[in-house]
Amino acid sequence: MSRLVIVSNRVAVPDESRPGGLAVALQAALEETGGLWFGWSGRIDPEESGRVRTQTARGIEYVTLDLSEQDHAHYYNGFANRTLWPLLHFRVDLVDYSRETYAGYLRVNQLFADTLAPLLREDDIVWIHDYHLIPLGLLLRERGIKCKLGFFLHVPMPSSDLLAALPNHARLFEGLSSYDLVGFQTERDLERFQDYVRLYGRGRVLAYGVLETEHSRRLRAGAFPISIDTARIAKLAADAVGKASVRRLSDSLSGRQLAIGVDRLDYSKGIPERFRAYGDYLERHRDQRGRLTYLQIAPVSRGEVVEYQTLRHELERLTGHINGTYADADWTPMRYVNRNYPHASLSGFFRLARVGLVTPLRDGMNLVAKEFVAAQDPHNPGVLLLSAFAGAARELDGALIVNPYDTQGVSDALATAVDMPLAERQARWNSMMQRLQSHDITAWRRTFLNALRDSDLDSVDSDGSGGERRRQSAGEVGVSALPKRPLQRADDPRPAAH
Ligand SMILES: O=P(O)(O)OC[C@H]1O[C@H](O[C@H]2O[C@H](CO)[C@@H](O)[C@H](O)[C@H]2O)[C@H](O)[C@@H](O)[C@@H]1O
Ligand SMILES: O=c1ccn([C@@H]2O[C@H](COP(=O)(O)OP(=O)(O)O)[C@@H](O)[C@H]2O)c(=O)[nH]1
């Protein structure tokens, strides 16, 4: 059987706990199959990038690279998290682009390619993850790698007009054509990517999920919603009842209901908007005042990036304002914690809660929403408030779906959740739990890898026929009128044509 090689910026090396859905999900996927996990070590070398660390645990071989301060600043804090992250989350207003950080991004991708290529075997299946590593497929092909290459984007694919605001967008996204399969979280993300290929990428959509680039290279693309280890979270939550941290939280509530939010401290998660909605709830739903305590867990993330520092200050100010305005001598309306908790505690916290607040402004999927559902007690489940702009909203139909920009709408939904009768809570929870039981992390991994193994496009005709799944009846959706130009190398330092 071929070996699975996973490549991602973030690697969950043994005995290290950092929040983030990608690492959580890939850890669960690799534990089942074994294989190689390659990526950044999470360490900064004061002098240079490239020190390789290897270790093996539970059938997984970890090969990681240290990054120099400069590479980390340009690649991770710079182009990945100050250019691509805001762009892909529809926040063009926050995009900070510079040629310097883009060069650093390409440099680190080259380093990944140079280090990984000699480790690969002919029949490996290589699965590359996320926006940090878009050019890696092309760089591996340039180094003679011929095995199956898949790519999965964990974050949203925004509207094509927004993508086009990125200098060099064509060169960067053209690199996706070196993969055999490109996966997105939702059908909407796939549709927006197809629009981009058609409108700005000079390519063609031969059929739904079958694309041809301007250089006549074909690739498949599909929607593969990521999920969680549902059974594990449910068991952790049930077992957590006796855990000291969960008991302490339960005792501290003095019989009040609990609302919980768990997010990396990130502006995409809509935390200030959620705090304001909670303030509005306390103001307008006075009859419920004192019946509910809100716990927000928000471990610091990307703390060297200025937009994240600004957000942290804003949240501290808002928490102080809400507690100062509404607290009583024996009750504090909200608790705000910057600590990172392990799943064993979080699952127990989720099970205690009457309401889960998941209100991102944009989110690729949001695994917390799924974990909250999986952790509930079937006899007394809590209610999920879920943003329409999280990928998870496409699947979790039993949630109260909210618009995070609508302060009063979120506040009213919270009041509805607090008073929701048991029968309705159970009906809503059952439908979501069924979905999570059939679409868990194993199903996600298998579906993607099976599609990657079957991604031979030789049988596809240029009009997209040949047994391909079709959404649109027209085989060819459109061709860009832009002039053709030769394929540039992924690391070509010349400025792009547009
Ligand atoms: O690695 P960090 O910079 O600390 O950030 C953590 C991860 O955040 C993002 O997660 C995304 O992937 C989740 C799983 O698919 C998804 O549920 C969530 O909506 C996304 O935001 C990021 O995309 C990862 O690369 C980071 O590792
Ligand atoms: O204190 C914390 C906060 C978050 N998480 C985990 O981090 C992941 C967050 O994934 P999600 O998809 O919700 O968002 P991301 O942070 O990847 O954007 C989930 O598995 C959370 O349980 C955690 O283990 N401890």
* CATH number of the domain residue 427 falls in: 3.40.50.2000
The pLDDT score that the predictor gives to residue 216 is 83
Torsion angle (degrees, nearest 10) of CA 337, 249, 416, 374: 90
Same domain, 163 and 120: yes
Same domain, 123 and 178: yes
116, pLDDT greater than 50: yes
Q: Using an 8 Å Cβ cutoff, are 197 and 482 in contact? A: no
478, pLDDT greater than 80: no
258, pLDDT greater than 70: yes
Is 94 inside any structural domain? Answer: yes
Domain termination residue (choose one: 388, 414, 439): 439
Assign 28 a pLDDT band (cuts: 50, 70, 90).
Answer: confident
The pLDDT score that the predictor gives to residue 19 is 61
Both tokens of 189, joined, read 């993300």
Distance CA(346)–CA(354), nearest Å, equals 14
pLDDT, averaged across the chain: 91
Assign 135 a pLDDT band (cuts: 50, 70, 90).
Answer: very high
496, pLDDT greater than 90: no
Q: Using an 8 Å Cβ cutoff, are 339 and 297 in contact? A: yes
The pLDDT score that the predictor gives to residue 173 is 94
CA within 13 Å, CB half, 67: 23
Q: Which of 262, 359, 361, 370 has most ligand 2 atoms within 8 Å of CB, for mutation?
A: 262
The pLDDT score that the predictor gives to residue 462 is 56
Distance CA(277)–CA(405), nearest Å, equals 9
Same domain, 177 and 303: no
Same domain, 57 and 161: yes
Atom of ligand 2 nearest to the CA of 228: 20
Distance CA(460)–CA(455), nearest Å, equals 11
Residue minimizing CA distance to atom 23 of ligand 2: 19
Is 470 inside any structural domain? Answer: no
Domain of 217, in residue numbers: 4-226+448-453
Both tokens of 150, joined, read 């898949």
Tell me whether strands 218-223 and 210-212 are parallel, antiparallel or unpaired.
antiparallel
Distance CA(30)–CA(281), nearest Å, equals 43
Q: What percentage of the chain carries pLDDT values higher than 90?
A: 84
Same domain, 259 and 400: yes
Domain termination residue (choose one: 416, 439, 462): 439
Distance CA(144)–CA(273), nearest Å, equals 49
Same domain, 193 and 281: no
Tell me whether strands 125-129 and 148-152 are parallel, antiparallel or unpaired.
parallel
CA within 13 Å, CB half, 155: 22
Rounded to 5 degrees, φ, ψ at 166 are -80, 120
Is 493 inside any structural domain? Answer: no
Is 344 inside any structural domain? Answer: yes
Residue listed under structure tokens 């200050």: 313
Same domain, 165 and 55: yes
Atom of ligand 1 nearest to the CA of 129: 25
Q: Which of 27, 132, 154, 307 has most ligand 1 atoms within 8 Å of CB, for mutation?
A: 154
Same domain, 378 and 430: yes
The pLDDT score that the predictor gives to residue 465 is 53
Active-site annotation, residues = 154, 363
Same domain, 169 and 250: no
Distance CA(151)–CA(184), nearest Å, equals 9
Assign 489 a pLDDT band (cuts: 50, 70, 90).
Answer: low
Range ranked top by mean pLDDT from 9-13, 58-62, 109-113, 488-492: 109-113
Distance CA(354)–CA(258), nearest Å, equals 6
Is 496 inside any structural domain? Answer: no
Distance CA(21)–CA(44), nearest Å, equals 22
Residue type, 422: L
Same domain, 289 and 261: yes
Distance CA(483)–CA(460), nearest Å, equals 25
Q: Is any atom of ligand 1 closer than 6 Å to the C-beta of 425?
A: no
Is 463 inside any structural domain? Answer: no
Same domain, 188 and 317: no
- From ligand 1's centre to the CA of 36, what distance in Å? 20
* CA 198 to chain centroid: 25
- From ligand 1's centre to the CA of 22, what distance in Å? 5
Average pLDDT over residues 406-413: 98
Domain count, the chain: 2
Is 173 inside any structural domain? Answer: yes
What residues flank ligand 2, with Cβ below 6 Å? 19-22, 24, 262, 264, 297, 299, 340-341, 343, 346, 365-368, 371
User: Which residues in 170-278 belong to E strands, given as ranges?
Assistant: 181-184, 204-207, 210-212, 218-223, 257-262
The pLDDT score that the predictor gives to residue 470 is 37
Assign 81 a pLDDT band (cuts: 50, 70, 90).
Answer: very high
DSSP SS3 for 236: helix
Q: Is any atom of ligand 1 closer than 6 Å to the C-beta of 301?
A: yes
Is 460 inside any structural domain? Answer: no
Residue listed under structure tokens 């093996």: 56
Assign 481 a pLDDT band (cuts: 50, 70, 90).
Answer: very low
Residue type, 464: G
Both tokens of 186, joined, read 């939702």
Residue 232 is inside which H or E element, if any?
helix 230-239
| CB neighbour list of residue 235: distance below 8 Å, 6 or more residues apart | none
Q: Using an 8 Å Cβ cutoff, are 215 and 177 in contact? A: yes
Same domain, 84 and 183: yes
